[in-house]
Amino acid sequence: MNRRERNRNGLRLAVLAFFIFLVLFIYSSLNLKIVDLGYRQHELFLAETRLRLEIDSLLAQKAGLLSLERMEKIAREELGHQYPEAGQIIKVVERNDER
In a domain, 30, yes or no: yes
In a domain, 21, yes or no: yes
In a domain, 94, yes or no: no
Number of compact structural domains in the chain = 1
Q: Which domain holds residue 67?
A: 2-83
CA atoms of 50 and 80, how far apart (whole Å): 41
Q: Is the pLDDT of residue 79 over 60?
A: yes
In a domain, 95, yes or no: no
Percent above pLDDT 70 for the chain: 97
E strand or H helix that includes residue 36: helix 2-65
In a domain, 93, yes or no: no
In a domain, 96, yes or no: no
**Cα radius of gyration (the chain):** 39
In a domain, 31, yes or no: yes
Q: Is the pLDDT of residue 99 over 60?
A: no
User: What integer is the mean pLDDT of 22-42?
Assistant: 97
Average pLDDT of the chain, as a whole number:
90
Amino acid at 74: I
CA atoms of 97 and 22, how far apart (whole Å): 88
